[in-house]
Structure 1
Amino acid sequence: MDPKRKKEIKERLLGSKFRLISERLYLAESKNAGDVFPDEECFREYHRGYQKQKEQWNVDPLKTITKELKKKDDAEMTVADIGCGEGKLAHLLRKKAKVNSFDLVSTAPHITVANMNNLPLPKKSVSAAVFCLSLMNKDYGAALDEARRVLKKRGALLVTEIESRLPQDKGSFIDEVESHGFALVKERNIDELFCYFEFARSKKPLVKKKETLKPCRYKKR
């Protein structure tokens, strides 16, 4: 087979696997999210597909997160990178902060295996919590509660999200996050694909609002 054609077929298969696993993650309950990845190789394939997707983006949302954290005046910054993937934020912030990296599978020594609803961190122990395209399970509200638990008083919650997942009125998503005990600090479009939100830990709410983010639906190919 022609090498160029062979490469094209491999990339299509990789893209198909990425879309399939992504859809399963969006529709899974958090307690079952680990079942989506039966082994480490499946997780690695998913992230290889993710890297191929990134090649089509004009910006990398993780770089936005990195820039925002580097601006903060905190000489002893600690960060919880929740749903860290390959754990790149720890490398990008190595001179600025201590980053605790968490995901369902560990592909590097600095990544701790953990469900995002049950992080192995004491309460009020980190300066910032990060969800970079990782609020994926249909009951992700529980992950917001866990982020609040581990954040220090007035700690920062940084979220990047795909524009198409947000409700038509972004205020609904902001209200939802605030109902978990946060106050909006700022929000903006990174580009036509992604949005950035920053919240501060605030008073515990009386009533939580239901999840508003939509699962990504991929076209059948």
Structure 2
Amino acid sequence: MAGEGKRRARRGKRKRHSLNNASPSLQKEEHPSISPPLHSSRPPKRSRVEPSAPKSTASSSFLDKIRGRLSGAHFRMINEKLYTCSGNEALDLFKKDPELFDVYHAGYQEQMSHWPEQPVNIIIKWLKNHSSSMVVADFGCGSATLAKNVKNKVFSIDLVANDPSVIACDMSHTPLDSSSVDVTVFCLSLMGTDFPSYLQEANRVLKPCGWLLIAEVRSRFDPNNGGADPDKFCEAVCKLGYTSVSKDLKNKMFLLFYFKKKEKVAPVKYIEWPELKACLYKRR
């Protein structure tokens, strides 16, 4: 009996050894609890979930859009006011709330970004082709772009000084001395119901034989749509004591007028000025 027990023990030991050395597949068959789950030939359907933008990003984009619309509406309101009031009224408006000037010029720059060519760049080029010793008065200078891009001495004039070099004043009453500058410039700045008074002030500060350069939005000089006749406008300017040297009418967005002041000017008591159509921007 003892021998039989020893033989059984040896058989059990050999069986355990064979199981331990068996292939993994056989081991898994012996232990079904750890075998991998069976898969069907058709994968289970999964519901498609579209990724959504983070709430913070979507909210920020929405707020930016609203701010842009409000800013654009604010610009159009200020722009319309400037074209339909006097220079003195515009000066009072910006004195009460100087931030309106920044709002206006931010909207102005956005509008200008859609123009294929900027009139101020043409005037800069014109000055660079002439003597840098000529003194310039830039009426309605905005951010003083002209002064920053030429070697000339430039008096930058506007209703609000958003740059230390800008002289803030009503453009019909500047602190400049009479016959003190060689070139006067109006680049998209003949705004307001009393624009002729700006030209009269420019005439006062301009030396004999000096230059007057005017760039204006083309629609303001379209007689077929309520604008002024460019020839009649030139006639009125010439009565101040100028000679019309040339007109640049090829640009689709604006016109350029070049006048030279006569050496001797006979005073004219009354000048009939054509009404310049207000430039009102549409909502984009």
What's 1:112 paired with?
167
What is the Cα-based RMSD across aligned positions, in Å?
1.7
Contact 1:139 1:211 in 2 (8 A): no
Contact 1:172 1:212 in 2 (8 A): no
- Residues 86-141 of structure 1, C-alpha deviations (whole Å, 9 max, x = no match): 11111011x2x000001111111101111111111111000100100000011110
Distance (Å, rounded) in 1 between the aligned partners of 2:250 and 2:169: 29
Quote how far apart the aligned CAs of 1:205 are.
4.4
What percentage of residue pairs aligned between the two structures are identical?
Answer: 39
What's 2:208 paired with?
153
What's 1:178 paired with?
238
1:171/1:41 CA distance change after superposition, 3 Å = same
What's 1:45 paired with?
103
The one-letter code matched in structure 2 to 1:179 is K
Unaligned runs of 5+ in 1: none
Contact 2:161 2:168 in 1 (8 A): yes
Contact 2:91 2:169 in 1 (8 A): no
Equivalent of residue 19 in structure 1, options 76, 81, 92: 76
Distance (Å, rounded) in 2 between the aligned partners of 1:170 and 1:213: 10
The one-letter code matched in structure 2 to 1:92 is N
1:190/1:126 CA distance change after superposition, 3 Å = farther
The structure with more helix, counted as a fraction of residues = 2
Write out aligned runs for 1:67-86 (5 A). 67-72=125-130, 74-86=131-143
For these two proteins, the number of residue pairs brought into alignment is 218
What's 1:59 paired with?
117
Q: TM-score, normalised by structure 2?
A: 0.72
Distance (Å, rounded) in 1 between the aligned partners of 2:124 and 2:74: 29
Pair 1:123-2:178 in alignment: yes
Quote how far apart the aligned CAs of 1:184 are.
0.8
Contact 2:183 2:210 in 1 (8 A): yes
Q: TM-score, normalised by structure 1?
A: 0.92
Pair 1:166-2:226 in alignment: no
- Residues 177-207 of structure 1, C-alpha deviations (whole Å, 9 max, x = no match): 2122222111112521111111111224423
1:52/1:19 CA distance change after superposition, 3 Å = same
What's 2:45 paired with?
none
Distance (Å, rounded) in 2 between the aligned partners of 1:6 and 1:29: 35
Q: Secondary structure at the match of 1:122?
A: coil
The structure with more strand, counted as a fraction of residues = 1
Q: Secondary structure at the match of 1:2?
A: helix
What's 2:21 paired with?
none
Contact 1:140 1:211 in 2 (8 A): no
Quote how far apart the aligned CAs of 1:65 are.
1.0
Larger radius of gyration: 2
Contact 2:156 2:165 in 1 (8 A): yes
Whose RCO is larger (CA < 8 A, sep 6+)? 1
Distance (Å, rounded) in 2 between the aligned partners of 1:145 and 1:139: 10
